[in-house]
Structure 1
Amino acid sequence: MNIVFDFGGVVFRWHPPSFLARLWPHRVADAAQGALVAAQFFENYGGDWGAFDQGLIDADTVIQRIALRTGWPAAEVAQVVAAVPDELQLQVDTAALIAELKQAGHRLFYLSNMPEPYADHLERAHPLQQWFESGVFSGRVKHSKPRAEIFQIASERFGLAPETCVFLDDHPANIEAAKTLGWQALLFTTAGQARLDLVQLMR
């Protein structure tokens, strides 16, 4: 199988409500309140953050835009932006799944909404080229999920027809977009569930 992994929330830890609760205890009392603050900060990965994801603006610009839009001090917004790389910790269970799939002979790729500075960090911190044959970061191709363009770019880069790819992502909108374009796609919740879903798909 040709299996394509999302990164944030799948291969690497990414849960903005708890992230902000830890980082901004003076603003966020718990993960429930963190969800509300995260919706303001990241705008569901549209708006300012979406432009950052797509490599259309840099970190300084996204900081200034979020501060202007929300009224939060730019220094506090900058704290969040700077803390993201440390938040993207490898998910041990998913790493084990990747190793299993690779050992079994499956071809592995990635397709991630990721601003360029964070993509650079992940490449420095982890042996992505050993784990995956190829991959696409949104910040480098100027398109992001769930738009059709990034799926088309990925298909072309991987040299694979969409229907031969199985996409794992934790966002329903990205799963639906992939399916609409002819990809096989599975909503990721845990590595254990993904393993079961993949086994079922292989039957």
Structure 2
Amino acid sequence: MDAVLFDMFGVIARNQSEEGRSALVRAAGAPAEDFWSAYWHPRQAYDRGDLDGPGFWRAVGERLGTPFDDTTAAELVELDVRSWSLVDEDMVSFVGSLAADGVKLGLLSNIPFENADYFERHHTRVLDLFEVLGLSCRLNLAKPEAAAYQWCLDGLGVAPEKVLFVDDRPNNVDAAMALGLQGHVFTSRAALQERLGLR
């Protein structure tokens, strides 16, 4: 392969923290099961940039039947960003080693505006590792939409069959493979190194 296209959350950045998830449920004042059903329902639109933070939380509140006022919505935006804010330093180091070895790297992340703003302010050392930076909210495209992968392929300038796409969600990997990319469902650095033929 000539390039590796990475997902961010669940691969290079950590998935939503349990502490952060609990804080969101407390701030929303809703039963956890109802909250998470309402939270994920408009998330794709938020990731695509169709909604901003306040708009996302209005949609969540409407689905819960308990609209959030502006103060609560602002608190939920802040808590949500914080819950997705941690990177996996071991994976950052590994990706850095690939970059240092001259491997062409791209990132394709489903990420809303507020989270993207946070990473662009606080994790530039991570984002700067990638030649192609596909942040869904900036593209108005989100995985598993075919056009999101195609945007990254165009930027990388590499044939699909020469690109390995790495994501922790099997449906996103399946969508990439349907376009002719190679795919790897991420579980650990060790398994990825093995897939790349590295020790």
Which whole-Å CA distance do the structure 2 matches of 1:36 and 1:187 have between them?
29
Question: 1:17-166 to 2 correspondence within 5 Å?
Answer: 19-24=20-25, 37-43=35-41, 48-72=42-66, 74=68, 78-87=74-83, 88-126=85-123, 127-128=125-126, 130-166=128-164
Q: Which letter does structure 1 place at the counterpart of 2:47?
A: D
Structure 1 stretch displaced more, 4-13 or 121-130: 121-130
The aligned residue for residue 196 of structure 1 is 194
* Structure 1 pair 57–149 and aligned structure 2 pair: CA distance change class (3 A): same
Q: Which letter does structure 1 place at the counterpart of 2:159?
A: A
Contact 1:66 1:77 (C-alpha < 8 Å) held by counterparts? no
Identity %: 27
Contact 1:17 1:34 (C-alpha < 8 Å) held by counterparts? no
Q: TM-score, normalising length from structure 1?
A: 0.83
Q: Which letter does structure 1 place at the counterpart of 2:161?
A: E
- Give the unaligned 5+ runs of structure 1: none
The aligned residue for residue 7 of structure 1 is 8
Which whole-Å CA distance do the structure 2 matches of 1:189 and 1:76 have between them?
36
Q: Cα deviations across residues 154-181 of structure 1 (Å, max 9, x unaligned)? A: 1112222211111111111100000000
Structure 1 stretch displaced more, 153-162 or 12-21: 12-21
Q: Which letter does structure 2 place at the counterpart of 1:115?
A: P
Which whole-Å CA distance do the structure 2 matches of 1:193 and 1:80 have between them?
36
1:170 lines up with 2:171 in the alignment: no
Which whole-Å CA distance do the structure 2 matches of 1:172 and 1:133 have between them?
24
Contact 2:164 2:183 (C-alpha < 8 Å) held by counterparts? yes
Contact 2:134 2:152 (C-alpha < 8 Å) held by counterparts? yes
Q: Cα deviations across residues 105-137 of structure 1 (Å, max 9, x unaligned)? A: 211110011112211221111224531112111
* Structure 1 pair 22–194 and aligned structure 2 pair: CA distance change class (3 A): farther
Which whole-Å CA distance do the structure 1 matches of 2:169 and 2:33 have between them?
15
Structure 1 stretch displaced more, 190-199 or 137-146: 190-199
- Give the unaligned 5+ runs of structure 2: none
Q: Report the 3-state secondary structure (helix = DSSP H, G, I; strand = E; otherwise coil) of the residue aligned with 1:121.
A: helix
Which whole-Å CA distance do the structure 2 matches of 1:156 and 1:184 have between them?
16
Q: Cα deviations across residues 48-95 of structure 1 (Å, max 9, x unaligned)? A: 221111111211111111101113452555433322332321111211
Which whole-Å CA distance do the structure 1 matches of 2:52 and 2:14 have between them?
23
Query: 1:2: how far off?
Result: 0.6
Which whole-Å CA distance do the structure 2 matches of 1:164 and 1:36 have between them?
43
